[in-house]
Structure 1
Amino acid sequence: MSEFPTFSLDGRLALVTGGTRGIGLAMARGLAHAGSDVAVLGRDPESGRLAVAEIERLGRRGVFVQADVTKEDQVVEAVERIEREVGPIDILVNNAGKNIRKPLTEYGADDWDDVLDTNLRGIFLVGREVIRRMAGRGRGKVINIASIFGGVGMPYQTAYAASKGGIVQLTKVWATEYASSGINVNCLAPAYIRTPMTAAWLEDPERLRDILSRTPAGRLGEPKDVMGAAVFLASDASDFIHGHVLYVDGGWLAQ
C-alpha cells in the first residue's frame, strides 16, 4: 500500500441526489472526471438524460434514477435498484435541496414543510438507506451538502438556514456513529456558486455587490471549486476526516 494518498476514484460508484443540474451536476461531473461511475437521482427524466450524457462524455458510466427524496418508498426502491443493477454505492453525495425566500411574517407552514421535507427529510432517508449498506461492507464516503447559511444568519432564509444547520449536526452524529464502521461522513458547505440555476438571480447588480463585499476572495464560486472539494471528501485522501464541515466560501466564514 502506498504511503501517499490518492485522489483517484477509479472503480467506484457514486450516487448524487439532485445531480441533474446546478452544483449537483458539477459534483457528478467532478467525480466522473476523477474516475467514478455516477448514478444521479432526480425527478425530471429529461434533465437526467442530459446529466448522464455529461458523465458519459467523460468516459464513465452514467445512470439516471427517477425518485423524489421526500418519499420513503421511492428512496428505498431507488437505492435497491442501483445496488442491484449497477453495483454497490461507494460514495453518496446527499445534495438534493430547495429554497423558498420570504420574510418570516410571510412564511407559511406549507413553505416550511416543503423546504424541510426536501432538505432534511430527504438527506435522512437517502443517507439511512445507503449507510446501512455501506456499514455491511465496512466502507463508504458520505458527503452531505449544507451551505454557509448553516453557519451564518441571512434575512429571508428561515427554513433553508434551519435545514442546513440541521444537516451540519446530522453529519456530526452520523460521523461519530459510523466512523468505526469504515464510513467517512462529512459535510460540504458552499457559498454562492455560479451555475445556470443561480445565473438569473445573480444578475441583480445590487445583490451581486453585496455578495462580493462579504467574500474576501472577491469573486463568486465556480463549479470547479465544488468539484475539487467533493473529489477530496470522496477519495482515500480524506480517510481520517470524520464529521468535518468544509466551507467552500471564498473566506466568508473566516471573518
Structure 2
Amino acid sequence: MRKKILITILLSIFFLSQAEAQIGDIKRVFGMTPLTQLPYKGVMGETLIEPYASIYFPYKTWGNKLDMSYWIDYGLTISVPLAEDGDCSIFRRFVPSNGQYLIGVIDLGIMDYIRKYLITATLDGEFIDCLEVSVLGSTNTGVGALIKQWKIDADMVVTVYQVKPTSTTPIRFEDTSPQTKMNAQRIDTRYQIDETGHIKKIKEIKYQPQDYMVLDFTENRNIWDGKEQPLVP
C-alpha cells in the first residue's frame, strides 16, 4: 500500500512539474514575440503578409480553451480541424495600458485559410481569454478575401468588423472569384479588455444589408472604410 501511495505522489509531482513547464513555455514565447505599439489596425495589406516574425505557439498547453479549426466559408459556419501540419503561431504582442497581463495575436490556419485570435494570459502564462478578430479565405483564383478585420485602441477597446452573408446557404471561399456578387450585412462589434485581461462585449452596430463583390474584401480595401448605412435601433 505504501508503495502505491509513493508512486501516486511521484506521478502527481511529475505531471505538476510538466504543467508548470508548459505554462512557462507560454510565458517564454510571449517574451520572444515582437512588440507592437498601440493603437493598432489589422489592415488588409498587412494581414496578407503576416506573420512577419512568427513563433510557434504551444497551444496544447491550454487544452481545449482555443477552437483549433479554420473557416472555409464567408458566413463562418463551416470549419475544418487544424491538421498537424497546420500553423499556430504568435507573431504580435502588446503592452496593456490598464493592467498587468499578457496580450498577443495568434495566427491559426493552413495555406490561405487564416484565423486570428487576440489572446490574453496571466504574467505566468495561464489562459485568461480570447477573441476571434480576423478571418481570411482563398477564392478559386487564389486571391485572399478578408471577411473579418479588427482594431485595438490604446485604452484596450477592440473593434471587430465583419461582413456576413444574408444567404442561409453557406458560400465557400473556394467557390467564388473576386467578381462574385454577394448580399451581406456589415456588423461592427466593440469589446473592452478589462484590467484583469477578460474581454467583454460592450456594443454592436448592424448595417443595412447590401450587395458586395468579393473584390471589396481583397487588396487594400478595409471593411471600416465602407459607406454602409447603420440600421435604426
- Short-chain TM bin: under 0.3
Larger fraction in helix: 1
* Length-normalised TM-score, structure 1: 0.25
Structure with larger RCO (C-alpha < 8 A, sep 6+): 1
TM-score w.r.t. the length of structure 2 is 0.27
State which structure, 1 or 2, has the greater radius of gyration over its C-alpha atoms: 2
Greater fraction of residues in strand: 2
